[in-house]
Amino acid sequence: MKIKLWGGVGEIGGNIVEIEAGGERVILDFGQSFSRGNEYFYEFLKPRIGAGLLDYLEFDLIPPLPGLYDPKLLRLTNLEVSDPRFAGVFISHAHGDHCMFIKFLHPEIPLYMGETTRSILEVVETTSHSFQIGEHRNLACFRTGSEISIGNNFLIRPVHVDHSVPGAYGFIVETPDGYIVYSGDIRFHGPLSRLSQDFVEKALKVRPKALILEGTRVDSSRKDSEERVFNDCLDKVKQTRNLVVVGVYPKDLDRLHTFYRISRECGRKLAIPLKTACVIDSLKEDPHLDLARHIWEDKENVFVHFHRAKSGDFLEKDYRPCILKDQGFSSPERACLRERRITAEEIGKRQEEYIWVLDFFHLTELVEAKPKPGSLYLFSMSEILEDPIDELESEILKNWCQRFNLEYFVSHASGHACREELADLVNSINPEVLIPIHTVHPQKFLDFFPKVIFPERGKSIML
Ligand SMILES: [Zn+2]
Ligand SMILES: [Zn+2]
């Protein structure tokens, strides 16, 4: 059996894991690196869409593997065009550093992801310009308990884990040469930490040859907790006389639920961005996602903030990209959005009544809301992980806060396990070897586990 890591080596994110057994190959995750290519590309200086994969291959942004990509995208490149040479690609969760490049895959290669991940990615595709699912003739969804047999050499069992996006998974991969366990991104302090415990229990039973484990926070002993975020922010909100503005990731529904709880506790209403509303509206039927349903059913207290878009008059056509394809928001599925509409001006008139979740790129809405002195901005996202905001953005955000009477306060719990939690996980599963991924400190694993293999990008690890 052979393992090659094409991303997530010495960096946080960009995971691409190739596993070969009996002459067949599968790939786990197909993400975009946050750092690779940053010395050449910036903001609107990007690889050209019209050049297919030419720029991506030139700068080594994707692995140069024949039989992996859509032949249409290879026209200008030197990469051999061929039939698929991979038995399947498996996506662990809906963060871009694990799935951004699935649009490049050969349409005939079977692509697997969790049902929740698929729902989230469909919404992201319709609400953003940067992500596309792409064309896949064999796209299938799994749940915990699924067993996916691929080719003659692979049986893959996805097992749920807790992370900062709903529907995250790790994988247990069975081959004739033994088992490989892959963690995806994992934490133990969220509301669903029992899912991660489940994963560990299932993984230790197979006595894996290799554990490919994320180590985002292997250098940090800080034990995070969602309850701490709740308590810290609740205190701050209680002390605030006027408007409360919050920055959270649109896909982090656990954090959104934390702010929903705070809003109820303080008797405030919650205003959420249109994009977030689309995400929770698409997940509200999911029987495993009570949080989304809980927030969405509270029509008295949860409103949808419509930013002032193109026409300036909040017309349907302004928001079409945010709504399910081909359906205006007058369609029955999305009428709920309009019914719950609120604007910055309306929020501004009753500042003491709201907690307002506001996206960085819509900070201009503050001009109309006019926060009064004694208002608060709660920054509740990580500064370096998952869709990072950079230093310049952070400075700009602080400038907006200063200009609009918003006290700036940070409270966040990571989507990743800390050092002690990772040590417990490794020692419970006790694999023959540990292969660190998604970390800039791989050597730190040696502090608590002796058999670590340090991967090099694209180099085979033979097991
Ligand atoms: Zn990640
Ligand atoms: Zn993630």
User: What's the CA angle centered on 444, arms 438 and 450, to 5 degrees?
Assistant: 110
Sheet holding 354-357, edge to edge: 341-342, 302-305, 269-273, 354-357, 244-247, 375-379, 406-410
Q: Are 302 and 336 in contact (CB under 8 A)?
A: no
pLDDT at residue 335, as a whole number: 66
Residue with the two structure tokens 């010495």? 10
- 184 CA from centroid of ligand 2 (Å): 8
Q: Give yes or no: residues 293 and 368 share one domain.
A: yes
- Residues 198, 343: one domain? no
**pLDDT digits 0-9 by tens, 170-209:** 999 999 999 999 999 999 998 899 999 999 999 999 999 9
* Long-range contact pairs involving 347-354 (C-beta distance under 8 Å, separation at least 24): 347/243, 347/271, 347/305, 348/243, 351/242, 351/243, 351/375, 352/241, 352/242, 352/243, 352/268, 353/268, 353/269, 354/243, 354/244, 354/268, 354/269, 354/270, 354/271
Cα 38 to middle of ligand 1, angstroms: 18
User: What pLDDT does residue 323 have?
Assistant: 58
Shared-domain flag, residues 295 and 264: yes
Range of the domain at 296: 226-410
State the distance from the centre of ligand 2 to the C-alpha of 438, rounded, in angstroms: 10
Same domain, yes or no, for 28 and 172? yes
pTM: 0.93
CA torsion sign for 382, 60, 184, 121 is: positive
Query: How many angstroms separate the alpha carbon of residue 164 from the centre of ligand 1?
Result: 10
Say how many Å lie between the CA of residue 424 and the centre of ligand 2.
20
What tokens were used for 314? 């909040």
Q: Tell which of 395, 410, 425 closes a domain.
A: 410
How far apart are alpha carbons 155 and 234 in whole angstroms?
46
Count up the domains in the chain and report the number.
2
For residue 432, give the CATH number of its domain.
Answer: 3.60.15.10
Tokens of 204: 């230790």
Interval 201-230: pLDDT, tens: 999 999 999 999 999 999 999 888 999 999
Is 254 found in the same domain as 200?
no
285 shares a domain with 177: no
Ligand 2 center to 31 CA (angstroms): 10
Instruction: Indicate the burial class of 251 (C-beta count within 10 angstroms; 0-12, 13-18, 19 or more).
Output: buried
CA of 317 to the centre of ligand 2 (A): 33
Q: What is the pLDDT of residue 386?
A: 46
Last residue of a domain, one of 410, 434, 450: 410
> Are residues 334 and 458 both part of a single domain?
no
Which tens digit of pLDDT belongs to each residue from 115-142?
999 999 988 888 878 899 999 999 999 9
Alpha-carbon gap, residue 110 to 121, rounded angstroms: 17
Q: Which two tokens stand for residue 170?
A: 């790790």
Q: What is the pLDDT of residues 284-340, one digit of tens each?
A: 888 778 888 889 899 999 999 999 998 999 887 788 665 544 555 545 456 667 789
* Cα 122 versus chain centre, distance: 13
Q: How remote is the CA of residue 253 from the centroid of ligand 2, in Å?
A: 13
% of the chain with per-residue pLDDT over 70: 95
- Which candidate, 118, 99, 107, 87, places its Cα nearest to that of 30? 99
415 CA distance to ligand 2 centroid (A)?
A: 7
Say whether both 90 and 127 belong to one domain. yes
Give the whole-number percent of the chain exceeding pLDDT 90: 79
What are the distances in angstroms from CA 69 to CA 30, 49, 72, 204, 434? 12, 15, 8, 35, 30
- Give strand ranges (E) for 253-369: 269-273, 302-305, 341-342, 354-357
Ligand 1 centre and the CA of 160: distance in Å? 15
pLDDT for residue 33 is more than 60: yes
Residues 146, 322: Cα–Cα separation, whole Å: 32
Q: Look at the block and give the residue holding tokens 């490149």.
A: 77
The CATH code of the domain that includes 295 is: 3.40.50.10710
Which residues have their alpha-adjacent CB atom under 5 A from ion ligand 2?
95, 185
Ligand 1 centroid from CA 57, angstroms: 22
* Residues 211 and 343 grouped into a single domain: no
The domain boundary residue, chosen from 369, 394, 410: 410
Judge if 108 and 157 occupy the same domain: yes
> What average pLDDT is seen over the chain?
92
Kindly state whether residues 351 and 298 are assigned to the same domain. Answer: yes
Cα–Cα nearest to 279, from 326, 226, 324:
324
Q: What is the pLDDT of residue 325?
A: 46
Render pLDDT for 389-419 as a digit per residue (tens, 0 to 9): 577 888 899 999 999 999 999 999 989 999 9
Residue 386 alpha carbon to ligand 2 centre in Å: 6
Burial of 436 (0-12, 13-18, 19+ CB in 10 A): buried
- Are 22 and 176 spatial neighbours (Cβ–Cβ below 8 Å)? yes
**Rounded mean pLDDT, 103-115:** 98
Residues lining ion ligand 1 (Cβ < 5 A) are 13, 97, 185
Give the ligand at the shortest distance from the Cα of 29.
Answer: 1
135 and 236 in a single domain? The answer is no
